[in-house]
Amino acid sequence: MRMPRLAGDGVWRWLSGACVALSLLAVVALLALVVTRGLAHFWPDDIEQLTLDNGERIAGIARDSEAGERRYFTANRDLDGQVWQWIETQAIETRETPPDLLYAERRDWGPFIGRLTAVDTSAGERLQGDEAERHLRQALAGNAEITTLHLRNVEGRAAEVAFAQVASLSWPNRMDVGDKLAAWGHGVWRFLSEAPSDGNTAGGVWPAIFGTLLMVMLMSLVVTPFGVLAALYLNEVARQGPLTRLVRIAVRNLAGVPSIVYGVFGLGVFVYGLGGRLDSWFFAERLPSPTFGTGGLLWASLTLALLTLPVVIVATEEGLARVPVALREGSLALGATRFETLRRVVVPMALPSMLTGVILAVARAAGEVVPLMLVGVAKLAPEIPVDGEFPYLHLDSKFMHLGYHLFDLGFASRDAEAAMPLVFATATLLVVVIVVLNLTAIILRHHLRARHRALEHS
Amino acid sequence: MTDPSTDPPRPNRRLRQRLDRLATGVIAASGIGVVVAVLAIGVYLTLAVLPLFDGAEVEVDTAPSAADDGTMHAVWLADDGTRWLTREGQLRDAEGEIATLAAGATITTVAEAGQAQPLALGLSNGEVRLVPRDDQGRLRWTQAATLRLFEARSVAALTLRHAAQGWVLAGRDTQGEVAALWHTAETTRRIAVPETAEHIALGYAGRLAMTQGTQLTLWQLSPDGGGGTSLARTETRAPITALSFLQGGRTLIVGDANGGLHRWRLSPDDTGWQAAETSYTALGDAAIRRLIALPRQRLWLALDDSGRLGLYQSLSGQRWHGQAPEATPPTAVSVNAQGTQVMWLGATGTPQRLAIEAAHAAVSPATLWMPQTYEGHSDAEWRWAAAVTGDEEPQYSLVPLAWGTLKAAAWAMVFAVPLALGAAVHSACYMSRRQRARLKPAIELMEALPGVVIGFVAGLFVAPFVERHLAGTLALFVCVPLGSVACGWLWRMFSRRMELRLPPISAGVGLIVPLALLCWAALSLSPWLEAWWFGGDLRAWMHQQWGWDYAQRNALIVGMAMGLAIIPTLYSLAEEALSGVPRPLAEGSLALGATRAQTLWRVQLPAAAPGILSAVMIGAGRAVGETMIVLMVTGNTPLMSPSLFEGLRSLAANLAIELPEAAVGGTQYRLLLLGALLLFVFTFVVNTLAEMVRWRLKRRYRRYGGDA
């Protein structure tokens, strides 16, 4: 519908256009911020060595600058008691990137920036200088054994680190782009595959990824059949009248009920109600320490299943409504029972929309944190809830969740500032997972509509 | 395709029928089950909240007497009734006498102060015997110490309360002379108070309330042994007949000869009383004889001369009234540590047990919704502080939480409604179908962004940024609308001047880059703006000019963050309503010569108004229940401030913070559940209304021949 351009229109057109632009801008800016910061975290930046006008020497990685000051990540929490330093740019006399500065990630005390003085080999030898470095490189590659590293910071203060404490070690100033890219990939891989360390401010998020996936899988096992059956009931079995309309409104409303209310329900009914009952029946010998009477994987999955039920029902109903009535009537006219019609004709046609619903439910559940805070998420649970011990899948155990991990890192950790890069990395991961899931659902639905349109026109 | 000539094996007809019925049954059962599960949320919350509003009850029954002849005459009895102390100082149990505590004198009065403090016995020779307790609170009768309070006259009344590193004991002799003992880790000092009194009661840190007729005096004892100082002297309306400080020692209950019951609170600046006394519902007009403070929830019992007994709570007032077990005042009363059972021994010698059922006595509609003068505050205020330790007074007002919820939601709406409606208008009225189809997935993705991500970016990145660039941020609200109109004007001028027919680019997409540049320019120019107009620091300037404080995590940030979170919901619903407006309406208006703006304002918007209203309602429901963003962005301070630059705490965030720590079944737990119920009911009602509006609108469009 093209309409004529008329004077006086402009203001509203551009003002409303600004609304679209601003909304998109906000989202793009948000995503760009999260993703660039999150991915930049793994990039081995050059380490600068600064000499200040008062003679002090500082080594660190330049981060952000503001009003004549620049902030450096100086690491070495054990030596300096802090990891960040604001430095006036005017006070800096020299800035250089000496190739022998190394960056070591330790399992305690966070990263170390400084130089290598010596290494102790497992044979009890102490190697110095170039030989020490050569030996260290071999040890990092797994070809030699080292017990202790002797390091010093740029001011010359010494620190000893047991080799087993070193999570990674590199000389960023010597790396070329290819090396850095490789190191970046390695960093991303470690982030995805390792457990958190150093009070959650370092290491990876593997238990959180696994916990999220497992919880979401259990949830979809529950929500899919019930959501689909409820939609079938509403759309195919129940008589269409004011009552079904009421139920439909109620189901739609449930999507608008705050997620914290589901959390409260889960805590009161599943955890304290059902869980407490189960404990007193089957696990009485362990009381008063609760088995199922406390938050856990099972209750979290059930709570989220309830939360995402409306999503599945609404999507499935939409799909069912699009199946042409003529097909149903044809099937019934050929002598099929209602069940057979549903099974052979209606459900197969609505299958993609059910899938869309489940994917949307999974995406919603993956990002939902609030109810989990009440029904079983843990700050730190490095053991994943699946192991070789009977019953293999521990439904009663607490688990980690990406979204909660993000909240915990940013708002409850000892040093939120130092954990920030990791928070951004975790947020990136979460956003990527959710965007991918949603895009899948959107594309699926798009194809679906196209297919139905073709069907209706034929 | 199967070949029709070869018959497939025919399934059994009966089996097929049965299978059909079974499947239908299963589907119906799970469908109904889901609906029931949904209803269960509301039912569960209601059931869990109801006990809050149960009335309090005091049940009296006769306790089996431990004495062999069935009667006990005692000045003290244990809270389980198994031991008692006679006037003559004999400690007895069912077996017989255990010890003698007052050789050569009789016990005239007894004072107790909880399970951590000693038991004080006042003797007829002016001495006080103190029975210490061990770590479990058991009395060590053999280690009783004797201290002298008065020279010769008998001790007529005693009151005891813990103070820093020890306790304070005050007594009155038969002539009304008052003296006190202040015990610290090192010494015990006697303090002679230069006053006479009929009734005395000790509050916290050596505050002593004394009465003489209608005069009420608040005295400050000092641990160094001086006489102390008078803090306040007040005349009351009727002669005072009973006196007791409540748990915590900051609230005094006064009973008078006309049956009046009044509350006096120590002022927060420690100089006397809070401005005004508060009166409670009276039991009758007989004089109040006895006031018994219970150790939990600031509950107390009042007994009057005609034998009426009442249970009161400091803030919520009278919770129960009825008949006392005996009309005469009890000779011995003891309360258990939980404050749920009172042993009552009167003149008849039969111990009575009073079971007090008042688990949530501190909650009443008035304490939830009306301002209250809490201990330590001088004015009536709405306050929430449910998680308290020790003897602090819990503050159970839901108003600050409701205020925080509505404030956050309102600011979010202020940001989201114009933006989302503007975007909806633009895409429904000014965008081609193709452009719209591209915008929609982008907005859907936006809707899928988890709250925790938005909250963390807003709380940890935007909040500190805005704190540093406040002037720039505020300038954006002016620059962006002006800038976009200016862009439009420039665009038109440019395309006309250059005699170009520029491609019909959508304003929505075309503005992204100029707006980004504009934002960047506004933010980088803001330091100069701030230096020029506001003396370099807008926050300091605001504080100076208007007394506004600035909290880093505040309503402005939560408005922006939550606004972003609800824009997609609002946009989708409003866009649906606008694009559903039947085309003939708009086309007719344009054909009659109206401009597009006129058509938009006079035809399309009014036609879609109910749909837009329902979009706004659903958006508001979202904003009210959103938890993660509020939790991460507001600082969670339960303030009642209208300021845009101060923090708040919402009902939902409060649940997330306090529920995991709350004791199951306690008052705090149930109040939190009440908060959840309020959220549930609010969103359910709002969404239902919105859904009904939408449904009616759709029907109307269909009548006008629209395609929605």
CA–CA dist B315, A39 (Å, integer)? 56
Going from N- to C-terminal start, the domains of chain A cover: 48-193, 203-457
Nearest to A237 among B27, B33, B35 (CB): B27
By C-alpha distance, which of B423, B419, B404 is closest to B476?
B419
Q: What is the mean pLDDT of residues B543-549?
A: 77
Nearest residue of A to residue B601 by CA position?
A12
The pLDDT score that the predictor gives to residue B268 is: 82
pLDDT tens across B95-137, in order? 778 888 777 788 889 988 877 788 899 988 888 988 888 888 8
Chain B residues whose CB is inside 8 A of the A338 CB are 20, 23-24
Gap from A199 CA to chain B (nearest CA, Å): 19
The pLDDT score that the predictor gives to residue B477 is: 82
DSSP B619-680: HHHHHHH--HHHHHHSBT-------TTS-B--HHHHHHHHTTTSPTTSHHHHHHHHHHHHHH
Nearest to B691 among A20, A253, A268 (CB): A253
CB atoms within 10 A of CB A2: 6
Reported ipTM: 0.85
pLDDT tens across B615-651, in order? 999 999 999 988 899 998 888 888 888 888 888 899 9
CA–CA dist B382, B369 (Å, integer)? 8
Gap from B593 CA to chain A (nearest CA, Å): 10
Nearest to A14 among B485, B626, B691 (CB): B485
Cβ contact, residue pair B41, A262, below 8 Å: yes
Q: What is the mean pLDDT of residues A308-312?
A: 91
Q: Tell me, yes or no, if B683 comes closer than 8 A to chain A by beta carbon.
A: yes
Chain A residues whose CB is inside 8 A of the B673 CB are 264, 268
Chain B residues whose CB is inside 8 A of the A256 CB are 618, 621-622, 625, 683-684, 686-687
Q: Is residue B261 included in any domain, yes or no?
A: no
pLDDT tens across B35-75, in order? 787 778 889 999 999 998 888 888 888 877 666 666 778 88
**Chain A interface mutation, best of B17, B18, B32, B35, highest count of A Cβ atoms under 10 Å:** B35
Poorest-confidence range of B456-465, B556-565, B698-707? B698-707
Q: Band the pLDDT of B18: cuts 50, 70, 90.
A: confident
CA–CA dist B259, B267 (Å, integer)? 25
CATH top class, domain A203-457: mainly alpha
Nearest to A20 among B26, B427, B453 (CB): B427
- Across chain B, mean pLDDT equals 85
CA–CA dist B400, B397 (Å, integer)? 7
Gap from B537 CA to chain A (nearest CA, Å): 14
Chain B residues whose CB is inside 8 A of the A339 CB are 19-20, 22-24
Contacts of B79 (CB under 8 A, 6+ apart): B334, B335, B336, B337, B341, B343
pLDDT tens across B424-454, in order? 988 888 888 888 888 888 888 888 889 999 9
More confidently predicted of A419 and A172 = A172
Judged by CB atoms within 8 Å, which residues 9-28 of A form the interface with B? Answer: 9-28
pLDDT tens across A223-250, in order? 999 899 889 888 888 888 888 888 888 8
Which residues does residue B570 pair with via DSSP β-bridges, in sequence order?
A: none
Contacts of B48 (CB under 8 A, 6+ apart): A268, B670, B673
By C-alpha distance, which of A259, A261, A36, A27 is closest to B565?
A27
Q: Is residue B75 included in any domain, yes or no?
A: no
What is the CA A377 to chain-centroid distance, rounded?
A: 14
Q: Is residue B143 included in any domain, yes or no?
A: no
The pLDDT score that the predictor gives to residue A7 is: 42
Question: Between β-strands A126-128 and A111-121, what pairing exists: parallel, antiparallel or unpaired?
Answer: antiparallel
The yes-or-no verdict on residue B2 having pLDDT over 70 is no
Q: Band the pLDDT of A3: cuts 50, 70, 90.
A: very low
The pLDDT score that the predictor gives to residue B85 is: 87
Residue A291 DSSP SS3: coil
More confidently predicted of B505 and B478 = B478
Q: Cα–Cα distances in Å, from B175 out to A277, B201, B281?
A: 63, 17, 33
Q: Band the pLDDT of A456: cuts 50, 70, 90.
A: low
Contacts of B462 (CB under 8 A, 6+ apart): B557, B560, B561
The yes-or-no verdict on residue B707 having pLDDT over 80 is no
Share of chain B above pLDDT 90, in %: 19
Q: What is the number of alpha carbons within 13 Å of residue B131 lying toward its C-beta?
A: 24
Which domain, by its residues, includes B596? 399-703
The structural domain count of chain B equals: 1
Judged by CB atoms within 8 Å, which residues 41-70 of A form the interface with B? Answer: 66-67
The CATH number linked to B509 is 1.10.3720.10
Nearest to B680 among A27, A261, A272 (CB): A261
Q: Band the pLDDT of B199: cuts 50, 70, 90.
A: very high
Q: With contact defined as beta carbons under 8 Å apart, do B403 and B648 qualify?
A: yes
Q: With contact defined as beta carbons under 8 Å apart, do B599 and B422 qualify?
A: no
Q: Tell me, yes or no, if B521 comes closer than 8 A to chain A by beta carbon.
A: no
Q: Band the pLDDT of B1: cuts 50, 70, 90.
A: very low
The pLDDT score that the predictor gives to residue B66 is: 67
Question: Between β-strands A126-128 and B332-335, what pairing exists: parallel, antiparallel or unpaired?
Answer: unpaired
